[in-house]
Amino acid sequence: MGDRPRLDHVGLNVADLPAATAWYAAAFGYEVELEGRVDAIALDFVMLREPGAGRRLELLHRPGSRPGLRAADPAEAALSEGFGHVAFDVAGLDEAFDRLLALGARPVMTPRPSPEPGIRMAFVADPEGNLVELVERPADG
């Protein structure tokens, strides 16, 4: 592990596990690393991994779950404590944004300069309404 801890994965609770798995795999090129079930609480999960990079996203579903915050945009999400969005680093922000819309995402914030100098960003909502940020960093960054 080295001297410092590192983020291993982010978990996202979803209503439709197969549909969310297919969408995130198509949207970001992630592959299924592991699928399983925690029988004691009837929790199904899929761990997705970005090929070659090791970044992981865990999708979880438990029967009886209810929708939580479905913020319209990042400003509304910031009014609730807890996780407000997941972000992906992409090359070709405009193309990535358009591709996600074609896959069923809802546009939230079109590509534009980020408050972070030299960075561009955009937001979409996945088919279940979860906010997804797209970040494009300079090639030398």
Regarding whether 48 and 87 lie in a shared domain, the answer is no
Regarding whether 82 and 54 lie in a shared domain, the answer is no
Structure confidence at residue 101 (pLDDT): 98
Structure confidence at residue 1 (pLDDT): 47
Regarding whether 83 and 55 lie in a shared domain, the answer is no
Regarding whether 79 and 47 lie in a shared domain, the answer is no
Structure confidence at residue 140 (pLDDT): 64
- Domain-embedded: residue 3: no
Q: Say if residues 9 and 57 touch (Cβ distance below 8 Å).
A: yes
Quick one: 26 exposed, middle or buried, by C-beta within 10 A (0-12, 13-18, 19+)?
middle
How far CA 141 is from CA of 6, 14, 91, 119, 137, in Å, comes to 20, 33, 12, 10, 6
Domain containing 87 — which CATH number? 3.10.180.10
| The two structure tokens encoding residue 102 | 């074609």
Backbone region of residue 80 per phi and psi (left: phi > 0; alpha: psi in -120 to 50; beta: other values): beta
Render pLDDT for 49-68 as a digit per residue (tens, 0 to 9).
Answer: 999 888 999 999 999 999 88
**CA 33 – CA 28 distance, rounded (Å):** 14
- Domain-embedded: residue 109: yes
The whole-model pTM stands at 0.87
List average pLDDT for each run of 10 residues in the chain, which is 141 residues long.
Answer: 75 96 96 95 96 91 90 90 89 96 97 93 95 89 52
Structure confidence at residue 139 (pLDDT): 79
Structure confidence at residue 4 (pLDDT): 79
- Domain-embedded: residue 66: no
Regarding whether 125 and 80 lie in a shared domain, the answer is yes
Show the domain range for 30.
9-61
Structure confidence at residue 94 (pLDDT): 97
What letter does residue 105 receive in the DSSP assignment?
P
| Number of independent structural domains in the chain | 2
